[in-house]
A and B are shown apart, each in its own frame.
Chain A
Amino acid sequence: MTAMWRRVRLILLELAVPAAVVVAWWVWSANADNFYFPPLAEILRTFADTWVFERVGTDVVPSLARLGAGFAIAVAVSIPLGTALGLSTGARRVTEPIVEFVRAIPPPALLPFAILVLGVGDAMKVFVIALVGLWPILLNTIDGVRGVDHTMLETARVYGVRGPERLRRVIWPAALPQIFAGMRTSLSLALILMVISEMVASTSGIGYFILQSERSFDIPEMWSGIVLLGLLGYLLNAAFALVERRVLRWHRGARASALQ
């Protein structure tokens, strides 16, 4: 009973705090009369006019498509690569300096190069998003694959579980909690790079819209774009958490029972 009451209280608090922030913003901005901070009411009105659903097709869809493509490429490249590196000590040792070097380059620094090679179109943006999203997944996959419990591997050996079967039913599931943690980091990085790449060179997208609004002094429009990004980030993360909860149900169960 007390546990349930605590949960209810936490949920209420979780809702109440953001609501309080919104109310505070609303009240303060209504009378602020500040050009850079227009009243929240006006931002929301602009938000409704702009995003429901006038610019969805022209800006939101292209942005999300780039994000989705970039993220998908990052996942598709880094999981097989990370698995190979995680399984082979030799390959890992050889590639480690390169991995560490490339990883250390701040991703936006690659934008000029990407524009030079791929132009200013979608390919460049997808490339940059994928390149940035790659690292967290790659490193976590390597770590997860390396860290598979020794007894589990010996069990697989004794019972003749090898090759693709071993990969699919033993190694990947064991590494999955870490791979998911990497994917989550990668998703938020992808969102950041989506905005940056659209601000540098673009004719569409949410990042482009925000920058255009700022340049033409449409401050409420600019704010509405920022609010939209916040909402998108929140929803993406929530959707990802939902998938993770389902896929890793066993992981939470096993951990809970180990703690008892």
Chain B
Amino acid sequence: MKQILQERIYLLIILLVTVCLVAGITFPTNFLTFSNFSQILLNVSVDTIVAVGMMLLLISGSFDLSVGSVVALTACLTAYLMQVLHIPIPMAIVLGLCAALVLGWINGYLVAYKGINAMIQTLAMMGIARGAALMLSGSGSQNLPYWFNTIGQSKLLGIQMPIWYMLLTVGIFTFLFKKTIFFRRYYYIGGNEKAADLSGIQVKKMKMLGFVISAGLAGVAGILISSRLGAALPTFGRGLELRVITAVILGGASLTGGYGKIPGALLGTLFMGIIANIMVISRVSGYWQEIILGIILILTLGLDKLLLKRYAQTA
């Protein structure tokens, strides 16, 4: 019991189930339905893919504010390559993803090797990437090619593709963090960077790769969102970075690094998605959503501290 409550993931699952039960009883016809839940999952799919990368960065003690802009730039660049330059679709997607990786590499290189503060570096990149997206697509590109749109609009076993991509991403990274030395190193780096270096972990290289991986996932999210909507807008992913950081912290990460598990990223976004969904069903004004999410974040962290304190005293 003690361990269950100390692990944020279990705490979140308990919270999620409770919230769903209460909502299910309150709204018996609208909430606990297949279509509603697949809608919730679809809504959080893009956020979750970005959140997995952000979870990696927070585990390593870093974070990236530019992910929302990278989503927009990848989408706009891919659309530009397809529509204006008439480059074959697979090639355009690869180039779009490469652009995301390059931005991640620049962030990572400057933060890890040149010692620029991650907050400042990624804040600057947030503006640069957003500006580049605006330059490329102006007010946005509509009517993207049919083939491209099927990536995000088709279904498998009755479930929308973005949900599958999301589950695949979470699954793969959960496995990698559990089973490979490469990803487990991020816990050590987040726990004590200097000790990690003296233990033979190439901290700078690993940190740089962390930014690259996170930006790559943001790139995937950018392709996905534009193919789902059949359009690429430079406003994609606005505010995404803070939403994702909120979700990841809800999911058990800490800004000091060393804490968090990949499934926590999914649980965090899911929790936020369910709350938003319940508020829509109960016709609460959209303005309240952010207020309530903020309160939930504070309450979750507060509950954590309270539980830890309780154990310190009773044990």
- Are A and B co-members of a single complex? no
